[in-house]
Every structure is written in structure tokens, then in C-alpha cells.
Structure 1
Amino acid sequence: MLPVVNGLPESADKINITMGYPLIQTPIAQFIIKMIRMHSEKNEKGFYYKDVLDLIDSSYSRQRLKEHYFAARGRLLSGDSSFVSYDDIFRGFKSEMFDEVFMWYDEAQNLLPLKFILKKIVNSVVIAGSEGENDILSESNSVKIVQILTRLITVLENDDSLKIKNDAGKLAILIERMIMGESVPFSGDPLQEFQVMGMLESRCLEFEKTAVLSVNEGIMPKGKNFSSYIPNDLRESWGLPTYKHSSALFSYYFYSILFKSREFYAVYAEGGDENYNEKSRFIEQINWEARRGGIFEGRVASVSKNYEAESIRGMESIEKTERIMKRLKELKYSPTSLISYMIDPVRFFFEYVLKIRNENERDEVGANIIGTATHDALQIMYEKNKGVIFAKENVILSETLIEKMIVDSFAENKIHNTESGKPYLMKRVVMEMIKNFVRADIERAHGNIKLFDLEGELSGSVEVNGGKIDLHGKFDRIEEKDDEIKICDYKSGIAEKSELKIYDRENLIDIIKWKEHPMKYAKTFQLLFYGYLAHNDMKFSNKRITMAIYSLRKPNDVFDLVYESNEKVVFNDELNEKFKMILVGILNEILNSGMPFKKQKEEE
């Protein structure tokens, strides 16, 4: 249903949807399930920190915590133990909702009776809904959840013979199954011109135009897949409904809506899923009637549209349509996105225009996973040094913390077992790499520099063809010493000094050579991009702006952006104009409707 609704044209602004949305997929249902699962994993040491992290990352928790959210999250990530108590997490913060969410235990730390736990869940839903939900649909979700839980409380209170083990894990399974079969209706006006409905809802109704989707064999009708323990022969003998009865019902619904519509469209797919790649028998019947001179003669037309998808590898060129051009003008460009365009315009289109990213295969440790784990760990370890002179006493060099951040990053990328095989080896390698870098960083920076900012974002814009194009770049840290600031980027891969040298002071980067050797100028471009944004930011107006890369594989080296003579590059007004020309040139190419995205030849 959701793909259909999202695919409707903008002109269909008033829609009535008669089908319900699965309750299990709503945010409030997921909030409750996470809450109960957190309690099911609790032991004598406390709550498992990852379960608590999942819970406080929900929109309901964040809205309640407000400015305390980052403090609570930081305590979870920087703790020495994997298990935490309620007081550890919400130190100095009191909330009625979190009291209901966490306090399910008596003085002996035994779980309260189930009916009291259910009342606490209901109270937490009511409190969360009173602040966090403003739209009618979200309010309906909360009401539906409360009704289900209240019904269960009533059963437990009135039926003494019902024995349910006082166990959070069992409660999670029970509530999840109760929610699973429920749906929440969309609110709307049945008199709207545009209706999205199921076959059953269409009975006894007449429409000007009707489009029936998925008219494929196995879907409409469902075929012989009849879920029953009673064999088909026995069902027929005893007069019970069979798959033939189901097919007859679908046939009635289909032809009923067909004859009550002035225009009727039946949409089917071929060549897709092997189970549903054949047109329905209903369409074959219509075509047969049209051929033999029946009521459909001269009134049926077939239109075929090929939507066969090509793989990214096979696509050589993509034309820029009006919709694509609109999207390109709305994009906020980063150095990574522009480097991606220079490497392969087709991949840039998929990753940044369509937002289709290549995911890591399960158990595959990619460079992005290592990079994320490294950045997260360094941010937490350096947090106390932010805005002050770097002091080694403020660095949290905890092996437990580093391992925790790496394991979390791996888990987010489908790698859950980090205790054996390649994931374990990579975890140990990354841990050593981070520890070596931090030790070297302490020696280099202690009492010498000020960490102006950590893991922040620079924003700006540039004018291209009379229109403003937004830019942004995420830096890893900004150092300050005297009147100089240095914008720094961490790299978990290899960095060479030759990659951070500008050999042509006049042009900075040779675009033609860059296209021939896509990775040659990538690091230089990224640092110049940061310099451009900082130079045009008022808070750095009186500062000398320099740029550098820290390679975690070479922790003792600082890779400053320099000219061929090894003189540091200082981003000034002259450099600003030169880099702006490069930036506008690349964006002009991207925003040129007559220049399709063409696949770049791979560098040998």
C-alpha cells in the first residue's frame, strides 16, 4: 500500500485510504517492544547499555529528554561496564514517563506482577502520546495500543485461573503477537474523488475510473495456496470452503468493479518474482471475450511498458530529466558527493540523487564501518577536551569504550559476531590503530593546541547560473593555536604526503587530469572545500585557515596541505576565488541538463 500512496502524482492531493496500517510498524508499538525487551535482558548488574541506547534513541525518549539526551547517551557510551542502572543513566534528571518505563521492580529487585507492569506500560504510552504526537494518525496509534493493553489487564484481573509466568521475555512475545494482527485505520473523507481501497471495500460502489493493481496469477486470484490442515478432498466432501471458493469470490469482486466503472485499468507485471510473473486468468478471459465478439469487442486496449531495471554496472549513461534537474538543484553538496561525481557520475546519480547506497554484505568489514567506529570512539574520548587546551588528563583512553564503539558500529552494519573470524581480527586491528593514534596525539597536542570543535559541520553556498547552491562539509576536528585554525580530517586508510601537495599554484587542481585519475586529487579537493566553507564563515574571519589530514595508520605524522615548496597552504581571498572557479565548474557540469551522467572509465 505505501509504495502505491508514495507513487501517486502531486495532483492527487486529497486521498481517502480505506485500508489500515499495521500497528506493529508504528513508532509507539516499536517503543513498547524495545521497552519490554530491555527488561527481558536485564540481570543483577543492571540493564544492557545497547538496549537502553535503542530506547532513548526513539523519538518519544528524545522529545522527553530534550537537552539531557546527549548527556544520557554520552554516559551510556563512556561507561566502563556494559550494564547500567536507572540512576546511572538519568543522573540529575527526573521524568514521570521514564519512571514508568524503568521502575518495574520491588525493593528486592524482583519483577512486579504482570498486571502492574501492563499499567505502567499504559501510563508511559499515555504520557508519551500527550507530548510527542500531534497528528491524528499518531494519536490513533496510541489509543489502539492502550485499548489492547487495557483488554489484557481486564482479562488478568477477572480470570484467576489464567496463569502467565511473571517473565518480561514472555510478556514481550505475548504483546508482540497481540499487536501483530492489529491495524490502525487512516482517517479521511469517503467522499473524496481519489480512493485507495482493497477489493472487499469496493463492493457495491461505482467509479468513473478504476485501476486494479497486481492482477497476476497467484495474487488475483490467490490460486491453490489455501492454508489449512484439512486436505482439499476432505474439505470438498464436507462442503467446506476450498481454493475454488476463494477464486470464485475474487472473480465476483473483479468483474463487479469492472462493470461498474466507465474506465477500467488492470495492471499486471511480467518477468518479476518467479511466483507471480504471469498475468491473471481474468485478463486472459477479457482478451478472449474481446476476440470472440463478446461484450468487450472493440473496447479493450493493451499497453506494454518495459520497466526492466539495469544493474549499475551495466548503465553507461543517464539522461537528466526535468525531475532529476529539480532534485539536483535541491541537493546540498558535500566534498564527498562531488568527489563521487568526479570518480563516476552514474554512481553519484544512484547514491546522491536517488539515495541508493551499496550496503556491506553480512560479515563484510568495509572501510566505512572502520571509519565510523574510529570517528565515534575518538569523539567520545576527546569530548572533555572540546573548547579547551588539549590535556592528556581529559582523554578517556578506555579499551572497553573503544571495543564497545567498534562492536556497535559493526552491529549497525549487520556484523553481530565479533568474537571469531575476520570480524574479530578487524576489531583487534582497529582497536590497536585507535590506541596508537591517541597516544601519538596526546604527545603532539598536550598543552600545545586548543580543540576548537569536534565532529561538526560547516555550511555555505555558491552561485551557479544565477541560482544559489547549498554546500556543507562534516569535519572531524578543528584545532586552534594563536591566530591559526587547522581543519582536520581523520583517515583510516593510507595517506601519502604527495597526495597533499599542490603543484600548480595558479589552477590548484587540473580537472582534466582529475577525471583521468579520479583518486589523485580527492584529498586535496576535500581539504580545499573545507577551507572554502571556513573562509566564508564569519566566526573564522580573523583567523589563518590551514588544513590537514591525520592518518590512523601513520599516527606520528601530520599531513598538512602544502605547496610544492612545502609551504603550508593558507586559505585566503585569492585562494577563495581560485577554488570557487573549480567548484562552479564542477557544479555547472552537474547542473547542465544537456550533459547526461556518463559512466567514467575505471582507472587501471
Structure 2
Amino acid sequence: MNTFLEQVARNIISKYGTNLARIAIIFPNKRAALFLNETLAQIAQKPIWSPASITISNLFQRYSKLTLADPIETIALLHKIYNQITERNETLDEFYGWGLVMLADFDDIDKNLASPKQVFKNISDLRELDNIDYLTTEQKQELSKFFATFTDNPSIIRERFLNQWSKLPQIYSAFQNEMRTRGLAYEGMLYREAIQNTELCTEYEKYLFVGFNVLQKVEQQLFDNLQKQEKAEFFWDYDEYYLNPNNESGTYIRRWLSRYPNALASDPNLPTNFYKTLAQPKNIQFISAPTENLQARYTTQWLRDGKKLAHGRETAIVLCNETLLPTIIHCIPPEVENLNITTGYPLSQTPIMSLITQLIALQTEGYSERQKAFRTTRANSVLRHPYARLIGPEIETLKNQISQNHLYYITPQPNTILQPQPHTPDKPSPLLAYLARITATIARNGAEMKDPLFDESLFRMYTLLTRIEKLITNQTLQADLPILRRLINQLAANTTIPFHGEPIQGIQIMGMLETRNIDFRHILILSCNEGNMPKTTSDTSFIPHAIRKAHNLTTIDHKVAIYGYYFHRMIQRAETITILYNNSTQGTRESEMSRFMQQLLVELPTPIQRSALKAGQKPISLTAPTIEKDTRVIEKLAQLNRISPTAISNFLRCQLRFYYRYIAQIKEPDAPADDIDNRIFGNIFHQAAQLMYETLLPRQIITPDNIRQLLSNPQSIDNIIDQAFATQLFRQPPGQTTRPKLNGLQLINREVIKAYLLRLLRTDLRVAPLRVIAHEAPVSTPITLTLEPDSQTNSSPTRTIELYGRIDRLDEINIGTPEQILRVVDYKTGNNPAQPLKTVDEIFAPENIHTKKSDYTLQSILYSLLLTSQTSVDNSPIPQATHPSPPLNPDIHSLNPESRPVAPALLFIQRAGSPDYDPILNFAGSPLLNSLELSEEFNANLTATLQNIFNPSLPFAPTPRLTDCKHCPYRTLCGR
């Protein structure tokens, strides 16, 4: 492939030899200089004196006495001047967008050497403003953002418009004076000042301008001056295809070829018709795709096709939409050894930006002046950030403190990140210093990672923060806290992080502007839609289009022509060209291919292949793993000496869930520190109920009058609820009297719990007199299981484990009446009650755990059987039951010393309001008043379930019922 830079290099060496020390080569951008220098060395085949490679911007900066100003300082100074002259008091946040437009106008005026007085005079004299009918709705909306009191009254709009624009000459003049006083300039101002320098471009004997297209007036004057001195040569890159007067891509090349002759014109080997020559056929393909992500994923297939990987730097991926970069990076196949990324990574998408945002939130709305403490949600957002561990060793301590003490507020910790910064809304400098310090600390502590993106993003953020702080301190920038937050976001969005690497090696990933002057054999262009190529541009300007055109300022027509040239020049020498575009429909607007693609379809004689990408509709495989009971698992099972009804229910629901929780011992994720999940809510209610019966009601017989008296004074319940919150949610030790402050959601939950307690009292009123024997009573019994026979000894090993649990409440109701019953009551605060079951087999049927809440029934019956004189478990292997029952532990005997029949009861608080509500378990169509009636069948099923848990030949298998996986905390582990 004969590239443009190869032609330039051959021409330079043929004219000037290898001593190029007095030659300066001027480029529009830096990247082409690197490629040309390497090409010069390859063509010379011997040591050479390298020429000076300079960008046009650096050339002007060399000969100016002014320094290019920092963009933040520039907009801050313009804002200050604007408010002084207009006598307005607009905040920087309000001014920022318009300030950028105003600065762009000033820059355009200077680069095109227009007279600011004449431009602004013409604006003031415009008679078009006598009638605003020519303004579109969108233009009126844009004006309304600037005019605080916008109305549809034409005379008011005209008056305010002229009043503002009449002051633009003063703003322009005062702004330039202020910048010049400081020795600073924006780019256009610096160019204009440099072009007046009589010593401009006297350093070198020859200035070679390579690969330019559009030229502004300052550049034209530079070219003219050097041309008169016979010091300039011009190397234009073009094709006869767009020299056609009707092709907008060649608008500027056609203009400059006669004024600044092409130094390559005499080259006999110069091909100028790449699009039509048969000597270099092109393989052009247009591909449509419904999403941007699908286009990025196609990159992998495209790179692996043909010799694109082997050709390395001759292969380029060009992003018309540069936000695709993060996705593209993850789609590069592993066999790509060298990769060079020329477009920058957005600072706004880096982890440090998210941390800065969270730190600002922590120090502002995250800190309560009244409580003198931080809100835990904001603190957790910072402490759980990936970079938090690099701030200091105290981070883990703070995280543990919060997780163990469920505090809504956490008091400041000296010398840690949880220390309030003494800033005020109108003086945010201390906050900026705090953010910069943390950024520097993270950079130092993470230096050993040797991650270039990490290092560069922290450096950019630190520079941004310290720059803003300095401007605020010296009063150049006036910004309160809300403005500062938005300003940081805006600046981060406009800041990119360059990737460091060897630019002339490997696959190239670049934006459209980086392709200038460089040719590639294979090109993949992504997101080449109208709006991306050419970029959606508008004449957002204070200067009307007619005035801009009259003074040869930049207009939207220029921008389209510039992008047209970039597009056609990029593909003119390529052999393989693949262009993707989005064809999805959004509302009533359908995405369409770029106008340049449509132009190729009409004008290019080379056939263009067209195809479409479609997302593969493959069913997601939900094959969860099966855990075999190998040596390690059996060892873990041997350590499982106790088992609860909840664990048994989990095994029936899903054996894999049982394995994750009780064998692998993977804990379920905790709820947010200041949140109340179902488990914590239930714990608070249980403890409040226990305290209510133990402290507010008689310990022996509770009469109806006792309950009515408590119902008539519901305020007496408040203290026990607060005590339950303190111990269950905030982990306060017993006896502490200071209660943590509740947030809004917690206060709502508090009222719900109070309503539930009152409903519980009304339910008990219907069965009084009653006696509450115990609350939260632990019960347990040993169980000996006969396991699968050993294949070598043919003997059946036994295993003794402890079956344990905690009874919510044991009571005796209807005392003194024939209906007197001993109950095991299980409180349920949820809204899904257990469904009536007809057989014991249904209790142990896995499908009923989710659909009929049979795990509730299993637990209540098991506790009832444990409290009878006969054990609920027959320890024989199925099907025989000949072994004697083990004795109950002393705790059980003390709870039911007379071995009376026990009725299982499930008290669903949300359903207890019905006057005929009876919590006693309904089984086989009638209340189950004596759990011993089910003892034999229940024992057989329970023993079989426990034997399956410990049977080494039976693996832990996932449930086949996907509905059970919806709320499982382990579903991500098994791919569901």
C-alpha cells in the first residue's frame, strides 16, 4: 500500500537529502509526525538528521509572548468580565454553557482575523430583529435559557437581544485586556497575536505543511508570508473523486491547490484516483445493527477475519461515537498482542470520579449539623467504594463498626475519612482541599499496582481539583457549593485520559480526527450514523448565520465539508472497509446511515456489500451445578452437629441452597445498615412482644381486664418498641438508656410494629384468660441416624446430631374452661400464610415449600412434638421404627412437665384482625389440637430427610423449580 506519508517522505528525501536539521514539518496533529519520522528512516536506509516536527498550534505558541490559558481560568475570567459589564449577577453555573459559546465566537473572530467592532456593529444594526417570526421554536427555547424573563412579546425580545449584544464589543475588549494583563490568551487570541510577530517563522530554512484541509485566516496569512519568502511547501492529500465541484468533501482542497500548489504534483508515481483505479480494488461492506453494543461485539469477529491481526498497525478501528471505547476495549480478542488507543478515556467514567461524587455527597447532605454525625447510607457509599481501601487502614474498622451496629447516624471519627470538613456553601475551598488530599493519598497507596489508567485518572482528577481550588482562593473563580458540584461534573465530562503506548505498533483504535494523514489497509468504522458522521452541529452562536457568512467565520456548512473530507480521505487508500451503523427505531425517529455512506452507494463504481447483524436468540442455560459429596464435603458434613427446622426446610426447598448456607457457610448478604429487611423487622416484633408480655402483663394468669387496660393505654407500649429497636437494629447492649434517632422509614416500621402488637393483644383477648409460659425458649433433642451401609464392612454407621430450635411462645389459653389448650405459637409478620395441608407427606413435599408455605407447618409441628413426653423422632432407619425414643432434655420437661398434648399454632399478625381468626394449625380439614396424632408419619419423613442430607452417595442437587430461585440469595452462584 502506497501511503500518503510515504509519498511525502520520498519527496522530502529526494529534495533535501538526509540532513533535515533546518527543516520544519508542520502537521495538523501530533500523531502523523510519529508515523512520518519512522517512514523517513525506513526510506533513507541510513542515519539522518531528523526534521523538527511541529503541530500548527505549537508553532503559533512558539512565537507568541502570551501563554495559552487554562480552560477553567479562561471561562472564570470571562464570567467575571461579563457580570461586570452587563451588571448582571449570573452564577457561573448559569453562565457556563453560554460562556463556552461566547468564547468560541471570540476564538472564531480572532482566528479568521475579523474585525470585532464590525461584526458586533452589524449585529446591532440587524433589522431582522424587528420580526421574530423567523425564529424556530427550538431557537426561542435556546434564547429563553439566556433571558431570565423570556416572553413571546416581540418588542421585549428585540430590546433584550439588542441590549445584550450591544455590550459584546465591551466584553470582548475587556476580556482580552484582562487576559493580556495576566500574560494569558485563549487560542484564537494567541494566534492573532503571534501572526503579528515580525520574527514569526525565521527559525528554519523550510517549512513543510503536510496534510492540511480547512485553513483559517491566521493560517492563510502564515502560509502567504512564508510563500512570499520562498520558505514554504505544501503537501495536500486528496483524490480526484472529491475534486469534483459538486462534492463537498473537496471544498477546501479545491480552493487551496491553486493558491498553495501541491509539492507532490510533479511526482510521476502519484496516484490520485484511488476510488476508481482497478489496480487497487476495494472490498467495501455496509453492515446495519440494532444496537451500539452489538456493533462493538462484532469487532472480535472482524479482527479475526483475514490478515487484519497480522497487519497490525495497518488495521484501524474508528469510532464515530467515542463513548463506545470502554465496550470496544472489552471486545478485543486475547490474541491481539499490541493495541494502541489514540482516543482518550472519559474521566467521568473512571472510579475516582464516582468516589469524588460520593465524597461530596458525604460531606454535604451526608452530614447532619443537628445530629453532628454522618448518615450511614452516605458513609457506606464511600467505605464500600473500590478505592476506599487505599485511603487508609481505618476503612475496614469503620466498615465493621457500621455493619455490627446498624446505626442510622455514625459519629465523626478523628483522622479518618469520616471527619466533617469546615466548609460553607459559599466557601467550598476547604472541601476541594479535602478531596485533593484524598485523591493524592489514594494515588500514593495504589502506586504499586502499576496501573496506567489508575495513575493517569488520579493525576487528572488531582490536577482538576487543585486548579479549581487555586482559582477560587485567588478569587478568579466565584462558585458556591452547588455550582462547584456541577462544574466538577462538567469539567470531568470534557476531560479525557490519554492511553500511553507505542503509537506506531499494533491495532489502532481511534476517533475520526486522529485518522488525519494516516492510511490503513483495513478499516472498521463503527456507529457511522447521520448525527455521528458528520457530527450533529448547530450554529449555536451569539453571531447570526448571515453575519458569520459575511465575515467568513465558521458556519455549519464548513463543518460538514470538513467531516466529509476526513471520511473520504480515511478510506481512499484502504483495501478492506467495513462500516457499521445503527438501524434501530426510537419513537418516530429511525436511525439512518451517514450521508457519506449514501453518497458512496450512488457514486462509487465499486460494488458495496450490504448485510445486517442480529442478536442471537439463544435460550439461556440454567444448568446449576450439582455438588458431589467428595472428601471435602463429607468432612464439612461431619462438622455439622446441630440442625434446625429452618435448615431442614432449606434442604427441602433446594439442596444446593442448603449446601451454600450450611456446608460452604456462605452468609447471606446483610441488609443496608439503616434499612429494615423482613428478618430484622420480625426480630424487632418478636422481642417487643416478649417484652410486652413480660413487663406489661401479669406473669401468671392474664385476664381479659388486663388486656383491655393495656389496649386503653397504647402509649405504654412505645418504650418497649424503642428498646426492641435499640437491641435488634442498633445492637445496643442491654441496660443502655440512650436511644438512637430513627429515620423516616424506621419510624414507619415502628408504627407498623405497634399496630401489630395491639392486634396481637386483641387476638389474645378472645382466648383469655391465658398464661404465657415462655417466650423465645430454646429447645433441642439428640437424634441418632442410621446411614447407608459401608460397602467394605457391610455395616450401617450411625450419626448423632442435635435437632434444635427456638419457640416464639408457649402459652396456655382458655384457662378454667373445657377448651383449655397448650399451644406452641409461631409469630409470622409476613403476608403469605401457610395453606392447609391434608397429609404429612405434603409437609415434606419440596414443591409445597414455596406454594403452600409448608416449611411453616413443618416447624410448628416439630416444636409441638418436641414438647410432648414422647419424642417426635423415631431414630430407626426407614421403614422400621423399633429403637427406643431418646429422653427429652431438661428444658423441654420444665416447659411441659405433665407431658400434655400440644397444639401447633401459626399466628399471622396481618390476618389476625378477623373476629373468627384461629391461629391453631388447620390440618386435614380440622384444627390440630394434639400433634402426637402425626408423630409416626412425621418421624418417618423427618428421618428420611435427615438421612438424605448425610448420605454420601446423594449429591446436593439444585431445585428444578425456578420459581423458588426468584428470591434466593445464592442464585448468582448457580447461574440462575
**TM class by shorter-chain length?**
0.5 to 0.7
User: Is residue 624–residue 958 contact of structure 2 (8 Å, CA) maintained in 1?
Assistant: no
Check if 1:238 corresponds to 2:541. no
**Cα distance change, pair 154–202 in 1 and its aligned pair in 2 (3 A):** same
Partner of 2:568: 255
Partner of 1:147: 463
Q: Secondary structure at the match of 1:572?
A: helix
Partner of 2:396: 66
User: Is residue 62–residue 69 contact of structure 1 (8 Å, CA) maintained in 2?
Assistant: no
**Pairwise CA distance, 1:282:** 1.6
Q: Distance in 1 between matches of 2:380 and 2:757?
A: 23
**Pairwise CA distance, 1:73:** 4.5
Partner of 2:379: 52
User: Is residue 626–residue 955 contact of structure 2 (8 Å, CA) maintained in 1?
Assistant: no
Check if 1:496 corresponds to 2:496. no
Check if 1:288 corresponds to 2:602. yes
Q: Distance in 1 between matches of 2:510 and 2:838?
A: 60
Check if 1:219 corresponds to 2:532. yes
Counterpart code for 1:374? D
**Pairwise CA distance, 1:126:** 1.7
Q: Secondary structure at the match of 1:498?
A: coil
The unaligned stretches of length 5 or more in structure 1 are: 310-317, 341-367, 386-390, 409-417, 419-423, 452-480, 529-543, 589-604
Check if 1:27 corresponds to 2:351. yes
**Cα distance change, pair 578–429 in 1 and its aligned pair in 2 (3 A):** farther
Counterpart code for 1:119? A
User: Which residues of 2 match residues 14-413 of structure 1 at below 5 A?
Assistant: 14-41=338-365, 42-49=368-375, 50-61=377-388, 64-75=394-405, 77-79=406-408, 85-86=411-412, 90=413, 96-98=415-417, 102-105=419-422, 114-131=428-445, 134=449, 135-157=451-473, 159=474, 161-162=475-476, 164=478, 168-223=481-536, 225-273=538-586, 275=589, 277-290=591-604, 294=605, 296=606, 298=607, 300-307=608-615, 319-320=618-619, 328=623, 373-375=676-678, 377-378=680-681, 397-398=724-725, 407=745
Q: Distance in 1 between matches of 2:432 and 2:556?
A: 41
Q: Distance in 2 between matches of 1:227 and 1:434?
A: 65
Q: Distance in 2 between matches of 1:384 and 1:188?
A: 63
User: Which residues of 2 match residues 580-591 of structure 1 at below 5 A?
Assistant: 583=957, 586=960
Post-superposition Cα deviations, 1:331-385, rounded to whole Å, max 9, x if no partner, equal 99xx99x999xxxxxxxxxxxxxxxxxxxxxxxxxxx99xx84337449959999
Q: Secondary structure at the match of 2:592?
A: coil
Post-superposition Cα deviations, 1:38-78, rounded to whole Å, max 9, x if no partner, equal 33334343245143343333234456411441313554x43
User: Is residue 206–residue 257 contact of structure 1 (8 Å, CA) maintained in 2?
Assistant: yes
Counterpart code for 1:186? F
Partner of 2:182: none
**Pairwise CA distance, 1:396:** 5.0
Q: Distance in 2 between matches of 1:301 and 1:57?
A: 51
Counterpart code for 2:553? L
User: Is residue 779–residue 805 contact of structure 2 (8 Å, CA) maintained in 1?
Assistant: no
**Pairwise CA distance, 1:179:** 2.9
**Cα distance change, pair 329–503 in 1 and its aligned pair in 2 (3 A):** closer
**Cα distance change, pair 212–114 in 1 and its aligned pair in 2 (3 A):** same
**Pairwise CA distance, 1:235:** 2.6
Q: Distance in 1 between matches of 2:517 and 2:773?
A: 79
**Pairwise CA distance, 1:204:** 2.1
**Pairwise CA distance, 1:285:** 1.5
**Cα distance change, pair 31–437 in 1 and its aligned pair in 2 (3 A):** farther
User: Is residue 105–residue 112 contact of structure 1 (8 Å, CA) maintained in 2?
Assistant: no
Check if 1:572 corresponds to 2:946. yes
**Pairwise CA distance, 1:265:** 0.5
Counterpart code for 1:280? S
**Pairwise CA distance, 1:169:** 4.1
Q: Secondary structure at the match of 1:5?
A: helix
Q: Distance in 1 between matches of 2:411 and 2:835?
A: 48
**Cα distance change, pair 207–102 in 1 and its aligned pair in 2 (3 A):** same
Counterpart code for 1:375? N
**Pairwise CA distance, 1:259:** 1.7
User: Is residue 508–residue 578 contact of structure 1 (8 Å, CA) maintained in 2?
Assistant: no
User: Is residue 373–residue 406 contact of structure 1 (8 Å, CA) maintained in 2?
Assistant: no
Q: Distance in 1 between matches of 2:756 and 2:443?
A: 45
User: Is residue 382–residue 388 contact of structure 2 (8 Å, CA) maintained in 1?
Assistant: yes
Post-superposition Cα deviations, 1:379-420, rounded to whole Å, max 9, x if no partner, equal 9959999xxxxx999995239979967849xxxxxxxxx9xx
User: Is residue 235–residue 241 contact of structure 1 (8 Å, CA) maintained in 2?
Assistant: yes
Q: Distance in 2 between matches of 1:237 and 1:339?
A: 79
Q: Distance in 2 between matches of 1:502 and 1:560?
A: 13
User: Is residue 502–residue 564 contact of structure 1 (8 Å, CA) maintained in 2?
Assistant: no
Q: Distance in 2 between matches of 1:24 and 1:203?
A: 27
Q: Distance in 2 between matches of 1:330 and 1:489?
A: 35
Query: Please, which of 778, 784, 795 is the counterpart of residue 449 of structure 1?
Result: 778
Single out whichever of 239-248 and 486-495 deviates more from structure 2.
Answer: 486-495
Query: Please, which of 851, 855, 864 is the counterpart of residue 520 of structure 1?
Result: 851
User: Is residue 337–residue 506 contact of structure 2 (8 Å, CA) maintained in 1?
Assistant: no
Counterpart code for 1:484? Y
**Cα distance change, pair 242–162 in 1 and its aligned pair in 2 (3 A):** closer
Q: Distance in 1 between matches of 2:803 and 2:907?
A: 21
User: Is residue 500–residue 524 contact of structure 1 (8 Å, CA) maintained in 2?
Assistant: no
Post-superposition Cα deviations, 1:420-452, rounded to whole Å, max 9, x if no partner, equal xxxx8x9965885699899x9xx898452399x
**Cα distance change, pair 11–272 in 1 and its aligned pair in 2 (3 A):** farther
Partner of 1:595: none
Q: Distance in 2 between matches of 1:244 and 1:68?
A: 59
Counterpart code for 1:260? R
**Pairwise CA distance, 1:494:** 1.0
Q: Secondary structure at the match of 1:492?
A: coil
**Pairwise CA distance, 1:32:** 2.2
Q: Secondary structure at the match of 2:345?
A: strand
Q: Distance in 2 between matches of 1:234 and 1:127?
A: 52
Q: Distance in 1 between matches of 2:852 and 2:384?
A: 38
**Cα distance change, pair 580–405 in 1 and its aligned pair in 2 (3 A):** farther
Counterpart code for 1:71? Q
Partner of 2:263: none
User: Is residue 36–residue 169 contact of structure 1 (8 Å, CA) maintained in 2?
Assistant: no
For normalisation by structure 1, the TM-score amounts to: 0.57
Counterpart code for 1:251? G
Q: Distance in 1 between matches of 2:774 and 2:562?
A: 76
Partner of 2:47: none
**Pairwise CA distance, 1:199:** 0.6
**Cα distance change, pair 258–119 in 1 and its aligned pair in 2 (3 A):** same
Q: Distance in 2 between matches of 1:500 and 1:17?
A: 69
Q: Distance in 1 between matches of 2:565 and 2:483?
A: 44
Number of residues of Structure 1 aligned to a counterpart in Structure 2: 446
**Pairwise CA distance, 1:182:** 1.6
**Pairwise CA distance, 1:14:** 4.9
User: Is residue 251–residue 282 contact of structure 1 (8 Å, CA) maintained in 2?
Assistant: yes
